[in-house]
Structure 1
Amino acid sequence: MHKEARSAGGVVIADSTHSHTEHNRNVVLFPKTLDYYQVELTSMLETERYREAMEMLQFLLQCQGQDERQLEEWESLLGWLQTTFPEATYSQQTMSQTESEPEETPDNEQVMRDKVRLKQAEDRQYEEKLLKTAMELPVSERTLLALEQLSYLEQPQIDEQIVDWLQQDGQLHPLIQFRVLQTLRRRGHRGNVHYMHRNERVDVDVETVPLDPTEFPLSFIQILERVSDKAEISAPNLFYFAQELWSQFIMSIFGTQDYLYISRGDDAEIDVWAAALHQTVAETLEGSSDEEETRTLYGVTDSIRFRYEQAYRALQQFVSGQIPR
């Protein structure tokens, strides 16, 4: 879970968890992202990934955007984990002291596969129950856990049921659609699937679905590099927030026309998305921002302004949660 894609310039597109640096206190969490982290945290606890849960809690406690009650709950949970699972705390401290050494951890995938097989042996209806849990709306903390467990069921007919669900349920959040696609890829599903992403029909080759941030096209990292270059002196806190937004956004648009445009790596496309990302984050943090100044900063000329406005609108929709559920 704790994997990152680094470019030569040091820019990071983080997965659903983050490294914990002194800069985290400058990160402000979107309400939608806060909900997403809560689901991820619950999944970690239910799958007994206590060290990862501690790392996420430490990251969240350094961020802004949550109320006092939420902070107290996280502090209490972190304290309980550190007291109850001291071996995980020790492992975490050891890793931070020896970052250059390879991480020695058990094969989590095999552990999970064994757990699922054991549950199947104990309950003949386990497969059916798991599918039902995954497909229940609204999305809860159990959804991602069920999707992860579905990856390890060997019955081939499950693929067809998952694809049917993806195609028929027009209310799925795009981030959940992406998780469903990841589940299909982990199951070894081959071929294309199509489904509706908002009002756009999307056709995806399952074998191209990224399981890790390093599998996204280089152009997605180059956009963050561009924002880093422009913001590191004048507004460093803007960049840390941009990382979080961008990592969530690119998963939510996978397979769409916007995703394909960005994947081409065209310089103009990188400029407009970097400018749109910068402007969106600046407005969120500061309440307002000089859009003309931002466009000039990124070299967005009149000839590509329309494309910039499209990119900006897509990011605004994601931030404001204007996604059917």
Structure 2
Amino acid sequence: MAANNQEKIYLLPQTIGYYQQELTRLLEFERYRETMEMLQFLLSCDTSDLKARDEWQSLLEWMQTMIPELHMPPPPEGQEQDLTEDELFYIHMKEKAEREPEYVEKLLAVFERPDSWDKQVLALEQLRYLQHPRLRDVLRKWLESQPLPPILQFRTLQILKARGESGSIKIKRGGKLYVVDISDVPAGSEDYPRALKEIFQRVIRSDMNSGFPLEAFAEETWSEFVAYAFGTPVYIEILAEKPEARDAWAAAFHYMLLLTSQGSASMEEIKDIYGITEALEVRWERALRVFRDFAKAVFPSIT
């Protein structure tokens, strides 16, 4: 969109909520360049929400300072072409830490003072690639000391596990305290328990795409749901389900996806596709309640 058109855009309060959610999702899935582009777009618009504008400006400046590589031009064609974006990011982080010995301390400081959790997401993803003797203690204390968004808790647990941390740890969720074992944390989607894999694959194999690019959205949303459920009784409940009951969870998740992305969905059509019989009605209703609660937590501006 041209700059002169952007200057005419006025962001309504409900629109700001939507963009805040989109920024969060971009950060959660490490799409940093897209995050910066969205921040630049938002700052070019008019809004009466000065607090939101200040937060966008602060986050953009912080990203430009901490990851200057993101707003540098891409390398010439052919240069580093065999490396993935993740590998390039790893190289940049190592080089930055070597050039600036205090860099890791700056990142750790974000977790030791009140700060926007958007910055904490970004700092956390950078710390995946770096070493520091205080890193484990800082992350563990931060994780146990306050309630955090589920995806942020989950990422922190994954990083602790990857760094050899073991044993139990307490996490706060919805006013409740849960004890989880770090060794039970899936390292990635390939490490999900069988029940979770089967539910997701059942959704992907369905023929209810209806022209909507369901798979990419489903994959991101399923990752968020796993993070949302991990460590809670819901997670244990799903893992204990009998194979035939997993269809009910897949159907309910698919219904929630369509409802969230398109605004409407045919409940009866979904149930027919997944073979939700009267015998599975109780599990279907239970799964619907769980995914409705999840959608309210993750997509509040939509639901």
The TM-score with structure 1 as length reference comes to 0.62
Quote how far apart the aligned CAs of 1:294 are: 2.1
The partner residue of 1:36 within 11, 24, 38 is 24
Quick check: 1:173 aligned with 2:149? yes
Q: Which runs of 5+ in 1 are unaligned?
A: 1-29, 46-52, 74-79, 96-101
Quick check: 1:250 aligned with 2:231? no
Aligned to 1:139: 117
Distance of 1:235 and 1:241 partners within structure 2: 13
Q: Look up the SS of the partner of 1:134 in the other structure.
A: coil
Residue type at the aligned position of 1:85? P
Distance of 2:98 and 2:40 partners within structure 1: 41
Q: Which runs of 5+ in 2 are unaligned?
A: 1-17, 46-68
Contact 2:168–2:179 under 8 Å retained in 1: yes
Matches within 5 A, 1:1-325: 34-39=22-27, 53=33, 69=41, 84-87=73-76, 90=78, 109=90, 112-113=93-94, 115-116=96-97, 119-120=100-101, 122=102, 127=105, 129-134=106-111, 136-140=114-118, 142-151=119-128, 152-155=130-133, 158-170=135-147, 172-231=148-207, 234=210, 237-264=213-240, 266-321=242-297
Distance of 1:181 and 1:137 partners within structure 2: 20
Contact 1:134–1:144 under 8 Å retained in 2: no
Quote how far apart the aligned CAs of 1:189 are: 1.1
Write out the 4+ residue segments of structure 1 that deviate beyond 4 Å after TM superposition.
Answer: 30-33, 66-70, 80-83, 89-92, 102-111, 232-236
Aligned to 2:52: none
* Residues 282 and 198 of structure 1: CA distance in aligned 2, closer, same or farther (over 3 Å): same
Quote how far apart the aligned CAs of 1:232 are: 5.0
Distance of 1:201 and 1:119 partners within structure 2: 38
* Residues 280 and 204 of structure 1: CA distance in aligned 2, closer, same or farther (over 3 Å): same
Distance of 1:257 and 1:105 partners within structure 2: 34
Quote how far apart the aligned CAs of 1:193 are: 0.9
Residue type at the aligned position of 2:287? A
In the comparison of the two structures, how many residue pairs are matched?
Answer: 259
Deviations 1:98-133 (A, max 9, x none): xxxx9799686576356436534x57xx63x43331
Quote how far apart the aligned CAs of 1:279 are: 0.9
* Residues 90 and 277 of structure 1: CA distance in aligned 2, closer, same or farther (over 3 Å): farther
Q: Which moved more, 1:188-197 or 1:258-267?
A: 258-267
Contact 1:218–1:265 under 8 Å retained in 2: no
Query: Does 1 or 2 have the higher relative contact order (CA < 8 Å, sep 6+)?
Result: 1
Quote how far apart the aligned CAs of 1:201 are: 3.5
The TM-score with structure 2 as length reference comes to 0.66
